[in-house]
Chains A and B, each alone.
Chain A
Amino acid sequence: MSALVSLRHRLGAVELSIEAEMPPGITVLFGPSGAGKTSILRAIAGLLHPEDGRITAGGETWLDTGAGIDLPAHRRRVGYVFQEPRLFPHLTVARNIAYGGQPDAALIELLGLGPLLSRRPGSLSGGEAQRVALARALSRDPSILLMDEPLSALDLGLKRDILPFFERLRDEAGRPILYVSHDIDEVARLADRVILIEDGRAGPSRTVAEALTGDPGSALGRAIAGGLLVATVAAHDPEDNLTEARIGDQRLWLPGRIGEPGDRLRLRLDARDVTLALDRPQGISALNILPATVTAIDPGPGAGALVRLDHQGQGLTARLTRRSVTALGLEPGRRVFAILKTMAATPERVAGG
């Protein structure tokens, strides 16, 4: 069941505002530090009381300032995974997990917590503690799961261990997850939907592909412009250490061995790494050249422009100088070739195996 969040609140010099529906799946709240991301989570959990707003989750109204409804935090069915684990140091792992509700044996199994149950939080590693915190939040069977940069305190290896759990949560749970992040690669990997937030003002909720194509209306949107291509692993080339992926019959070569044949991949592009040519280039080192159609051109505030492209129904964006746009005579409808320099691939399990 979707959650609805509509808030306005003055916080020091920042005017916080958000208006969004969060369907089941992961909605990433993306923005720089100090933009008000954590405050929005706290307001949903009832730890901060906004001046004005409405929150409904799991079919219940938690906040309606107009009607004088403001449920205290402990009566809202939220799961809150804080930036730091916040485990109760005087309780065992098992009792921490059971604090908010009866834990599910399958969940303990999924998170690999069985061997840790009798330990105290003080003896856990950072990754273990964050997994316990996740199990504890989920044991409450929340109507919405709030996650505040749960990976920011972990090193790269631990992040890699935990990310697959988050992906499974997204695909299995059927509940809205609001996930705060300032890491664009986390967004590309986890998000179903993205809300950009700058200086307290949250924009509309959009699909991750739309968001990563770039929103010309905001500085943050322009900054993350590029694209998210969804491709399927076709084969591996062990000799050159490349992975072959396909979008329809278009072939893409990715560095390294990624996933298994049949796996769906999310490929994040940065608009700076996309070059355009009018004819298919010959004698070029780039491996990945995609035929595409220009759909729109957004001139930026400076010398640059964002050129929006469509490739088999998937959007991507190139950042060019305005001079290049004019020199190439680019306009909507024009057929071009997009040359991709680098690509960040984030493997993702295909639903159902």
Chain B
Amino acid sequence: MTPADWVTIWLSLKVALTATVVSLPFGILVALVLARGRFPGHGALNILVHLPLVLPPVVTGYLLLLAFGAQGPIGRVLEPLGLGIAFRWTGAALAAAVMAFPLMVRAIRLAIEAVPEGLPEAAKTLGASPLRVVLTVILPLALPGILAGAILALAKALGEFGATITFVSNIPGQTQTIPTAIYAALQIPGQEPAAARLILVSIAISAAALIASEWLATRARRRR
């Protein structure tokens, strides 16, 4: 490992962790709304959330650039305040969060839907307000699924490539994550050993995430 590798790995972890932690509350909220809410626009929200899963990542990245770039409607407001995110690590985190969001919501939603309807009903008859039902019954029972969703999102965020490179480019030390670094190394003859090191790190992190996710899923099943 070279110092540059460590910078890349550290930046990747920072981007992926930020993306996961910041989007988790929104993911839980959207999953709750999709799983238990009945309102006009339910279908539209569902499609919007899942769109990044099916769009070419380069399209998602380009749309982010349009919105958050210096000329974009949001970027124009943020840039003068020094809060611009295009071509910064925070932008990489946003791209990763958007791309990982559908996976996160899906896992959490399934866990919420797996809570037997009889339990929230029983809680209501015991005087629990809708908020208390969510906080004391639904979310605790869905917890393994929420953690699994977060881990899945973290793994996806660590591997995100297309939207990231389109939105924030590939600046070493600024926006270069493990996948974009691997890609850059593979473009230069003789850099295969550098790519190989990062590829091994990548495999190790992904395998660990899958194992953790499986373990949580098994625990969730045992709890029922």
Q: Taking beta carbons and an 8 Å cutoff, which residues of A are in contact with B?
A: 45-47, 72-80, 82, 84, 86, 88-90, 99-101, 122, 136-137, 140
Contact = CB atoms under 8 A, between A and B. Distances in A.
Given A82-B118, A84-B118, A90-B140, A45 B125 contact: yes
Nearest to B141: A90
A72 B131 CA distance: 13
B137 to A, nearest CB: 6
Contacts of B141: 88-90
A74 B136 CA distance: 14
Given A88-B119, A89-B141, A73 B125 contact: yes
Interface in B103-130: 116, 118-119, 121-130
B38 interface: no
B125 A47 contact: yes
Contacts of A140: 126-127
B221 interface: no
Contact of A100 (B118, B119, B126): B126
Contacts of B136: 99
A122 B224 CA distance: 8
The 6 A-B pairs with the shortest beta carbon distances in the complex, nearest first, are: A100-B126, A73-B124, A80-B125, A86-B122, A86-B118, A90-B140
A74 B128 contact: yes
Contacts of A75: 127
A82 B122 contact: yes
A229 B195 CA distance: 91
A79 to B, nearest CB: 8
A346 B118 CA distance: 33
Contacts, number: 61
B132 to A, nearest CB: 8
Contacts of A45: 125
B175 to A, nearest CB: 42
Interface residues of B, number: 21
Contact of A89 (B123, B133, B224): B224
A77 B224 CA distance: 29
Given A88-B137, A90-B141, A90-B223, A99 B126 contact: yes
A123 to B, nearest CB: 12
Given A89-B141, A89-B224, A47 B124 contact: yes
Nearest to A76: B125
- Which of B127, B130, B133 has its CB near the most chain A CB atoms (within 10 A)? B127
Nearest to A75: B127
B interface, by DSSP: helix, strand, loop or mixed? helix
A62 to B, nearest CB: 12
A233 to B, nearest CB: 39
A137 B127 CA distance: 10
A134 B122 CA distance: 12
Contacts of A99: 123, 126, 128, 136
B131 to A, nearest CB: 10
Interface string B132-157: 11001100110000000000000000
Interface in B31-71: none
Contact of B124 (A74, A89, A122): A74
A57 B123 CA distance: 20
Nearest to A142: B125
Contacts of A74: 124-130, 132-133
8 contacts: A74-B133, A79-B125, A80-B125, A82-B122, A86-B118, A99-B136, A101-B126, A140-B127
B148 to A, nearest CB: 16
A180 to B, nearest CB: 15
Contacts of B119: 86, 88
Contacts of A100: 125-128
Contacts of B128: 74, 99-100
A130 to B, nearest CB: 13
Nearest to B116: A86
A136 B122 CA distance: 10
A136 B124 contact: no
Contacts of B132: 74
Contacts of A82: 118, 122
Contacts of B137: 88
Contacts of A137: 125-126
A11 B88 CA distance: 59
A89 B125 contact: no
Contacts of A122: 223
A99 B123 CA distance: 8
Contacts of A136: 126
Nearest to A78: B125
A188 B122 CA distance: 29
Contacts of B122: 80, 82, 86, 88
A120 B82 CA distance: 53
A75 B127 CA distance: 6
A82 B127 CA distance: 15
Contacts of B125: 45-47, 73-74, 76, 78-80, 100, 137
A46 B124 CA distance: 9
